Structure 1
Amino acid sequence: MTPVAPRPARDARYDWAAERTLLSWVRTSLSMMGFGFVVARFGAFLRALGITAPGAVIDEGQSSASMGVGLLMVAFGIVANLVAVQRYLYNHRALSRGEPIDPSPAGPAALAIFAALLGGVMVLLLGRTLLS
């Protein structure tokens, strides 16, 4: 009977790195959801501010636009959180089997592009409010 070579010990640093990556995704998605809530309520704040200003014209479109952008940010935070969990579980399974992981840049790149687009929309909304 031939002796079976012991399996090399798994390096825990890879598991910790995967967990840190998951936690950074969770922090990002929670920030996106929290900021989305603030943006959604910003329209109501502007409307309340406009009511107290003498001679101010209330713009209902601003309130609904900030609500839409805020809800979109909250929804994107939820999706980012789900993608993070899916990526973590995939990488954890691969590490458990001793397989290499595929660090796809698609998730972080999509997050950055979407955040930039939302930032552009917010600049347009705020600029429209300031110029009115």
Structure 2
Amino acid sequence: MSDLKDPRVLFAAERTLLAWNRTSLSLIAFGFVVERAGKLVRAISPGIIGPDQLAAMFWLGLAFIVLGAITSVYSARQYAVILKTLTPDEFPPGYAAKWGLLVNLAVAILGLILALALWWWRLH
């Protein structure tokens, strides 16, 4: 439990959460690009990439997307742990500190929906 009675502790934790949020979004976006790059190369030059390489790019891209979603969930969990250690004096009046949690969880859910959609489209 923090006894600093200083809102800078909360803001530092929130900045860290937002940094992890950017990392999560970057991993998800990179995974999507990797997954789609195989299809783009195959469309532009059909003989360059084979089915095995296309499958490898699909699974690698999906792994990055899922890693991004997991990162988002874990960072939200870490932020929630920090919030529990703060005293009421460390929260500015009327400040909604839990919005960061909601955003990170939304990113995680949307990342998992993207991964499931890509996997479903691959099957059909």
Counterpart check, 1:10 vs 2:1: no
Aligned residues: 87
Gaps of 5+ in 1: 1-7, 99-132
1:39 touches 1:66 (CA, 8 Å); kept in 2? yes
Counterpart-to-counterpart distance in 2, 1:81 and 1:58: 33
- Give the conservation status (yes or no) of the 8 Å contact 1:38–1:70: yes
In the aligned structure 2, how far is the partner of 1:65 from the partner of 1:58? 11
**Displacement of 1:96 after TM fit?**
2.7
Structure 1 residues 40-62: Cα deviation after superposition (integer angstroms, max 9, x where no partner): 001101111222xxxx3551111
Distance (Å, rounded) in 2 between the aligned partners of 1:57 and 1:13? 54
1:9 shift after superposition: 6.9
Larger Rg: 1
User: If the length of structure 2 is used for normalisation, what is the TM-score?
Assistant: 0.65
Selected match of 2:78 from 74, 78, 87: 87
3-state secondary structure, aligned to 1:10: coil
Which ranges of structure 2 fall in alignment gaps of 5 or more residues? 90-124
Q: Which runs of 4+ in 1 moved over 4 A?
A: none
**CA RMSD of superposed structures (Å):** 2.0
